[in-house]
Structure formats: C-alpha cells, structure tokens
Structure 1
Amino acid sequence: MTHAVDVVVVGGGQAGLAAGYHLRRLGVGFAVLDAQAEPGGAWRHAWDSLHLFSPAAHSSLPGRPMPAQAGQEYPDARHVAEYLTDYERRYGLPVHRPVRVGAVRRDSARLRVETDAGTWSARAVVSATGTWWRPFVPAVPGREAFAGRQLHTVDYRRPADFAGQRVVVVGGGNSGAQIAADLAPAGIDLTWATLRPPRFLPDDIDGRALFDVATARRRALEAGRADTGGVASLGDVVAVPPVRAARDAGLLKAQPMFTRLTEDGVEWTDGTRAEADAVIWCTGFRPALAHLAPLGLCGARGRIPTDGTRAVGEPRLHLLGYGDWTGPASATLIGVGRPARDAAREIAALLGRSPASPDV
C-alpha cells in the first residue's frame, strides 16, 4: 500500500516535531514517521542522571514553552521526554509509529519513502533522524582483544551497574565529563581518558549563554564578518552542577588518551597500564543518514552538502537537527525552531504555497 502526502518527515524527536509544527502552520499536509514505539525521541534512552544545560524556559520548541520541573533548575531527560509527548499531542501532529524508514528514492516528480509499514509517496522529505542512533567508536588498537565490557554513551544508565568494577571512560566532551562525574562519587575505580586536557567552560555559562553565542556566530557569518568560533571557542565541557561538584572535589582527573587496549585494560605510550573491567566510549556520534543512501548525496565526513537545511543535490530534501551544518544550534531544543521554520517555508514555496508563518 502506498500513502500519498505532500511531505514526509523522517524522525519524531525534537527536530521532527518542530518541523511538523511549522508545516502545520503553513497548511502543508505531512506525515511524521518515527521508528520509536513511544514519543520522546532519544531522551527516553538517556542515562538516569542526565539533565539539560538550560532551565526549562530556555529549552522550548516553537509555540509551547517547556514547563519547569519541580525542584530542578535544569530539567532531567524524563521531563524532556514528557514535554515532547505533550507537545506532539497538543498540536495533533500526525506521527506514525513504530515505522522504520529503510530508504528514500527518487520517483519521477516525487520521492518514494520505503518503510517496514508500507510506502509513502511525497513531494518533499525532511530527514530529522538525528545522531543518537549512530554512535561512533574510534578504531583504537586492541579493541578486539579486550575481555571486559565495552559500551558507548547510548548504553550507559547508572553507576550501580558498575559496582565494584574498574571503569575507563573515554572522551573529553560533555558526555564523557558527565558520566565520569556520575561514576566517581559512587566509589567506582575510575580512569578518565581524553585526547587533550578537558576545557571546562566558565561556571556561569549554561545553555542560555551557549545559544546566544551560537546566534551571534550565525549573525556574524550572515553579515560577512569574521567567524567568531561560536561555542567551540569557549571550551568543551559545560560545568553543570554534578560536573562542577566532582571537579571541585578532585574526582575528575583526566589522563591522556591511551594508545591501545589489552586483554585486561588499557596501555599508554610509555608502557604504563591500567586494569579495567569496562570501557565506556563517550566518543560522539555520526549523522544517521543510511535511509538517504539511495539518493547518492553523501559528501565528506558522512554529511550531505546543504544550503541552509536544503540538500544541494536534491532540492526536495531538507535535513534538520544534525548539528550546525543544518542550522546553528539545530541539534538543541531551543535552536531547532528557526531552521525548522526556514525548512517549512522553503518546502511550502516548492509546493506553490507561501502563506506567512509567524515568527515564534
């Protein structure tokens, strides 16, 4: 069975919902296809102690402020998932789940979206699958020889799962710092390995300031001024309260990156070794774009070249929420609204519709 719609949005997380909100306001017919069984996107799969970098008021999707969480300045992942669930229902967004998209192909004047629940035929597609579903682990020598457990950020849940174990956390970004700060106070025998010494942002910097910095960078680039460097120029790790507490207690002492894994641990260039029962790779993600492979658009670093959110090689395709290359701060709750609005407006124009959409 083939379903015909104007637009298919692939992914029902925060980016997909923001796209749906703006498409609805423009009167464009669409369907959101989400591989997950429940609303909430990747937030339902995060570790137990994960909190946002920003207060609720600065972590909202367009049109609907996130309510504050009682007793929490920075909402936790469960609160975010509940907010996304409410957002989807509040606006009656047509989300179909669980529907897994296997491929998007050109089909004359339309795009054919093939799924495990039938085929959708669309005049345009918004890909909003994010990166959580494609974790990256570097090719460090000895990975196959290590006899302990190897996990990625996506697999980590709580310190109790590692009671009495020796754990190596790899990665000097926010995930690595937060997971190390989660484990260290629990008495875990922890080694935190990073490629370079961790760069903590000033303690008064949170998501509000980061969004302002990203916005200033976008405006500078649009005006033809010098690149300010954006958020990356400030540091790598936001000093959220648990990270700050562990750091100030002397529990976050980073070691240089080891050169290889051994059967029972890790080894550095000088021959120093540390035994380990588990290694947690907090080494980032890649965009989850396998469903777009039939279009032949992939460029350097696994990315599809874009002009704003529109794919350069396929004007009927927009990519949303994968990082700054698909809109400044577009991988954040507060940042995805603007590129989602712009994508919806371009799609409406492509379809021959151009009603004004309020700025929200």
Structure 2
Amino acid sequence: MPRPPKWQATLEASVDEACLAVRLYNDPAETRAFESFVIHMHLAWLYLLHAEFMRDGVDYRYWETKHPPRLQKVDGEPKLWELERSVKERWPSTTDPVRANLELFIKLRNRLEHRHANADQALMLTLSGHAHALLVNYETELTSQFGDDRSLALRLRIPLFVGTFTTEGEQALRRFRKRLPTNLRGFVTDYESGLSDEVVDDPRYEFRLRATIELAKKDPEAVAIQFTRFDELTDDQKAAVEEMGRQGQVIEKNRLQPVSGLGRLMPQPAMEAVARAVPFVFNQNHFTAAWQRKRVRPPNGAADPFRTNPDFCEYDQPTGSYRYTEKFVKYLVSKCSTEKGFKEATGRDPEPKGDRA
C-alpha cells in the first residue's frame, strides 16, 4: 500500500477541528460556545490552507532576510505562515467575500481571548450569519480542493435552531444584543464600514436564512416544510417578509436541490460573453490561451482534472467537461478591455473589431 501524502495528516486535523467547532457551537451546556467555535474554526482553516500549500508545493515558511537566507524558527521548528498570511496567499483580492469573512473572524479572535466572558451569547446572536458563512465557505473550500468524499456532511448532523416566535422571545433577543460590550459592537460596525455593499451582501460573507412558521391543519397532500424563493414574491410580500425578519430568526437544515452547473458557463457561451463585451476580436483561441496563462484548469487529459481554480472554473465529472464562472468572464472582460490587459491575459496582440471585414 502506498504511503499517504504528507498533507493528509494536516487535512485530517483540519476536519477534526471543524467538527469540534460545530459540536461546541451546538452544545447548550457550553458556556463559551461561540468563542470556542471561533478558535477551532481558526485552526481548521489554518490547517486546511497549509494542506493545500503542502500539496501544491508552496513554501509557507518564514525566512530570514539575511544572506545567505535562513529559516525563521520557533522552539527549533520552522515558523509557518499564520492564518492571516495564508488567507492573503489564497485570496489575493481584498474584495473577495470569503477573505472578508475570514479576516473578520481573525480580528475577532484576537480581540476575544478571555476578556469577554459575558458576551458569548450576544456575539453568537449578532454574528450567527457570519459564523454560518465561515463554515459553509470551509465546506466549499474543502470539497473543491480535496473532493466530495471529504465533505463535513458525512460527519455532521445539522440540528434545527429556533430563535423566537413570540413577542417575549423577540424582546429577549433584543436584550441579548444590548449586552454586547460597546467595543465589540463598534468593532463589527467599523470593520464592515470598510467593505463594499457587494461584499457585505454576499452570502459568503454573511449567510442569512429566514423561515416563516405556519400553523395549519394536516394536509395529506402537503409536505411538512414548504420552500418559497424570495425573488418570486411580490414587492408587498417581500416587504412583509423583511419586516418579519426583524422580529426573530430561524436557522434550519437546508434542503439542497441538485442543480448541475447552476450559474456556470460552458466554454463557448463564456467566450461569447467576453467577445460581446470587449472592443477587440476575442475568439476560442484567445479564451483557451487565457485559461492556460492564468492556470485556471489543467490541460485536457490531465491525470487530476479536478485541480482547477474554483473561483474561475469547475470540473464536471459526469460529462468530463469544464464549466466557467461568471467571475472568470468578468475578469476577462476587465483585462481584455485594454490593449495592455488583452496581451497580458492572452499573450497576443489585440485586433480592434473594426479592422476585420
């Protein structure tokens, strides 16, 4: 039997930390549940990104600036990148919502330590959506990088959380919010003031669920839980739902509808979307050169076709094809709208559309 890859132990430690974080968060007897969740998810993310770097041959050790260069060491061991440095390497863009969510919790962990023992429940209430996004983002990164067989869904049971259905319950939640220390309340406000509306409203930064409880007679033709899409409601219905959302919250186990390729584009439509938006001739050859130069996906026939940049491309195993994201299309449109950017993205000189008969 071949020896397991070096990164496997680090990856398994990451998953163990994530499972422990969720277990502590869900334990009603745990007096510091939210703080424990933050600490263990911090470790889960750190180990996950280190496993990726180890697998991909990225040197994530700190080096002295002296000549000849030497490794920085702590207690005789090489000093490795902390989570903040690792996140910047994985998501270079400062506007990425996954990075924004992670950096919020990094800053929060540095503030928490043991100074806010009485704020745990208030923090959990205030940042529950951010915490849910932190876990969902972790699951996405874990499965996209290491395969669906690593999914936390194989190890976790997701419980039902009920916030409030009564006026008394609503008032209790509001009292909890007011118990949040002023410096922590200001910390969240100050942090989000530096983010764009696009990032703040992105579910990868803060995950929001809303449920309406309907007490009705048993109907043999109906299911126990009904799902209604928010964008299918009328304006009056949307306003009513928004108002109800201020009075309490329910986080429930989500029923995922399996939709293959949702929000993804095949190569031809992706190429055509770029071609319509840029002032230069852009064809399939340019598109291929762009993903090759950006290393968006492996070449055809690669032994490991799953090694894509998940922000830009995904491999579809049943069809053996690659599907591209809207983010990749937007990236190409932005780059290829100028002569310099076009050549950087494709390696070719741009040809204005008007020059071709």
Q: Given the two structures, how large is their TM-score scaled by the length of structure 1?
A: 0.23
Which structure is higher in RCO with an 8 Å CA cutoff and minimum separation 6? Answer: 1
Structure with greater proportional helix content: 2
What is the TM-score of this pair, normalised by structure 2?
A: 0.23
